[in-house]
Amino acid sequence: MTQSRHQSQNTGFNDFEQVFMRVQAAEQMVGAATVTMDPETMDHATTAVEQARAQLESAKAQAVDLDEPFLMDQEEKLARCEHQLLEAKR
């Protein structure tokens, strides 16, 4: 059985599904962190954003033209998370 394009051997999810899940997790973590302003929660949110950014950059390196709208949408969501987290840390 061959794996589909971008298929991860470890999780069964392809790179784009992983990007989606990591960005979604980052959004939730940042939301929780900015509501509570708890330092530990802020650290977890920072880690979630960093992991989402790394996954997004990895997917971009493998992307084709058809993937661009999805990746741009995820980029915008992640940029909002990064901005919100930065503002909360001030």
**Does residue 30 form part of some domain?**
yes
pTM: 0.82
**Chain CA centroid to CA 38, Å:** 21
Residue 1 lies in a domain: no
Mean pLDDT for back-to-back runs of 10 residues, the chain (90 residues): 45 81 97 95 97 94 86 97 94
Q: How many CA atoms lie within 13 A of 45 on its CB side?
A: 26
CA–CA gap between residue 88 and residue 30 (Å, rounded): 9
Q: Is residue 79 part of a domain?
A: yes
Identify whether 21 is part of a domain.
Answer: yes
CB-based contacts of 48, cutoff 8 Å, min separation 6: 22, 25, 26, 29, 30
pLDDT of residue 6: 46
- The reply to whether 3 falls in a domain is no
pLDDT value at position 83? 96
Range of the domain at 74: 15-89
User: Residue 2 domain-assigned?
Assistant: no
- Specify if 6 maps to a domain: no
Whole-number pLDDT of residue 1: 36
Query: How far is the C-alpha of 54 from the C-alpha of 4, rounded, in Å?
Result: 21
